[in-house]
């Protein structure tokens, strides 16, 4: 077993735009906004970036293919730039590229940038895309809410839950994120909601209502990573390090084999086990101080609490209703508002999660600041429950 990346790479600067309906901004503006914040945060010059990874998901709009838009926007001095895409884990994949490069010694300072401009479709949804020439012939014409709604039906059936009871726990997930988003000036959705408003919202895809769904947002986020010695020279001890980065894509079992029950994300469980081992986390309840998980839909966050080992199987609804994952709970989840309210510009989301954990670990989260966080965990789920890419990153401090 490889020794992994634990403490081999530091995050020395981060930036994140305001997420939302950024009618005012093109990808160039979003990327520049995030990058300038990160550069100032790190105290570095632009030409000190030795390599970059650029995460964008949709080819259908945004910046098109290839990595050169990032090189062009930032006028990088012809250093290597690679475009990465791995569904909703795209932002985290950009970070993984940069982290692996530094950990490998291929460069000392690297940039991970994620950007998505979703609000150019002309309608209030995601662009339609092909699933490939063969899969288009038989895959259902699902939408993201419809694909994730499957978890609700299967979870309720597996645990013998009344759908009304499950929906109350799901509604609490959204209620909590709206409470948190209201505290975050960079968040897309900043309005508080009542449980009644959430529960009485129109159905989008049974059992998901409008407020079970995350925002469709524009935004960019980035991280500058470096060797720990460089971090020490820049900020002294107490800098943020990468404890683990793990990725687990589906291999077709969920889609085609009956062993999967439809009520959990198999890949998250695989990635979590590896990430906890890499980070040296033996007891997630004790070591993980906060999580930023892929709450594209309320039901996703609910099952992820079990998949990450934070709730026992079947116990997530009760834990959620007990406030365990609220801002003042034992292990706050989406304290920045999450995908739900901070927003979900796909290529930027993994880096946005990292940004909040970075702020929390460096004590700069303002009114959201937690007392002495130890480890923060970010989890992305790209794709849909039956076939996806789960990315888990764990961050802490070097001291």
- How far CA 23 is from CA of 26, 126, 148, 256, 366, in Å, comes to 8, 16, 28, 41, 27
Of 194 and 251, nearer to another protein (C-beta) is: 251
Peptide bond into 207 cis (omega under 30): yes
CA 370 to chain centre: 19
Backbone dihedral angles phi then psi of residue 362, each to the nearest 5 degrees: -100, 5
Min CB(41)–another protein separation in Å: 39
Q: Are 247 and 272 in contact (CB under 8 A)?
A: no
Of 141 and 372, nearer to another protein (C-beta) is: 141
> Rounded distance, CA 219 to CA 210, Å?
21
Q: Does 251 bind another protein (CB under 8 A)?
A: yes
Catalytic status, residue 88: yes
> Rounded distance, CA 25 to CA 41, Å?
22
Three-state DSSP state, 15: strand
From 48, 61, 71, 150, residue interacting with another protein (rule: CB under 8 A):
150
Catalytic status, residue 344: yes
Q: Are 396 and 275 in contact (CB under 8 A)?
A: no
Instruction: Considering only the stretches 26-34, 131-139, 233-241, 370-378, report the one whose residues sit in contact with another protein under the rule CB under 8 A.
Output: 131-139
Q: Does 164 bind another protein (CB under 8 A)?
A: no
Instruction: Considering only the stretches 37-45, 82-90, 99-107, 140-148, report the one whose residues sit in contact with another protein under the rule CB under 8 A.
Output: 140-148
Of 292 and 307, nearer to another protein (C-beta) is: 307
Min CB(381)–another protein separation in Å: 16
Min CB(40)–another protein separation in Å: 40
Question: Nearest CA to 41 among 76, 75, 73, 16?
Answer: 16
> Rounded distance, CA 331 to CA 336, Å?
13
Q: Does 257 bind another protein (CB under 8 A)?
A: yes
Kindly determine how many residues on this chain lie close enough to bind another protein according to the rule CB under 8 A.
46
Question: Nearest CA to 356 among 9, 57, 16?
Answer: 16
From 16, 42, 156, 357, residue interacting with another protein (rule: CB under 8 A):
156
Min CB(291)–another protein separation in Å: 25
Q: Does 268 bind another protein (CB under 8 A)?
A: no
Q: Are 353 and 207 in contact (CB under 8 A)?
A: no
Min CB(143)–another protein separation in Å: 5
Token representation of residue 192: 């508080």
Contacts (CB under 8 A) with another protein, residues 186-205: 203-205
- Rg of the chain over CA atoms, in angstroms? 20
Q: Does 59 bind another protein (CB under 8 A)?
A: no
Instruction: Kindly list the catalytic residues.
Output: 88, 344
Contacting positions for another protein (CB under 8 A) = 121-123, 125, 128, 130, 133-134, 136-143, 145-147, 149-154, 156-157, 203-208, 251-253, 255-263, 386
């Amino acid at each position: 077993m490889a020794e992994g990346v634990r403490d081999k790479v530091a995050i020395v600067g981060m930036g994140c735009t305001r997420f939302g309906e950024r009618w005012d901004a093109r990808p160039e503006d979003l990327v520049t906004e995030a990058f300038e914040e990160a550069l100032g945060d790190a105290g570095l010059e632009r030409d000190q970036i030795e390599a970059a990874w650029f995460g964008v998901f949709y080819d259908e709009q945004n910046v098109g293919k290839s990595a050169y838009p990032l090189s062009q926007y930032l006028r990088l001095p012809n250093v290597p730039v690679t475009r990465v895409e791995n569904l909703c884990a795209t932002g985290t994949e950009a970070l993984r590229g940069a982290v692996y490069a530094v950990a490998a010694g291929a460069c000392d300072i690297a940039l991970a940038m994620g950007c998505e401009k979703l609000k150019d479709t002309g309608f209030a949804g995601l662009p339609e895309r092909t699933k490939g020439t063969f899969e288009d012939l038989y895959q259902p014409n699902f939408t993201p809410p419809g694909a994730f709604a499957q978890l609700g039906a299967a979870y309720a059936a597996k645990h013998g839950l009344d759908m009304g009871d499950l929906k109350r726990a799901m509604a609490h997930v959204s209620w909590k994120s709206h409470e948190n988003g209201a505290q975050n000036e960079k968040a897309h959705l900043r309005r508080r909601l009542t449980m009644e408003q959430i529960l009485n919202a129109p159905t989008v895809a049974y059992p998901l209502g409008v407020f079970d769904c995350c925002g469709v947002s524009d935004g960019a986020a980035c991280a500058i990573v470096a060797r720990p010695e460089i971090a020490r020279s820049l900020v002294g001890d107490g800098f943020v390090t990468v404890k683990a980065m793990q990725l687990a894509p589906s291999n077709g079992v969920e889609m085609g084999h009956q062993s999967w029950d439809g009520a959990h994300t198999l890949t998250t469980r695989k990635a979590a086990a590896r990430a906890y081992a890499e980070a040296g986390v033996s007891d997630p309840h004790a070591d993980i101080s906060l999580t930023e998980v892929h709450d594209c839909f309320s039901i996703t966050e609910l099952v992820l609490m079990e998949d990450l080992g934070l709730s026992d199987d079947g116990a997530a609804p009760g834990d959620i209703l007990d406030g365990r994952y609220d801002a003042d709970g034992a292990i706050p989840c989406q304290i920045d508002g999450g995908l739900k309210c901070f927003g979900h510009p796909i290529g930027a989301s993994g880096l946005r999660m990292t940004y909040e954990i970075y702020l929390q670990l460096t004590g700069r989260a303002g009114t959201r600041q937690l007392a002495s966080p130890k480890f923060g965990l970010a989890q992305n789920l790209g794709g849909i429950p039956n076939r996806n890419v789960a990315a888990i990153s764990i961050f802490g401090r070097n001291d």
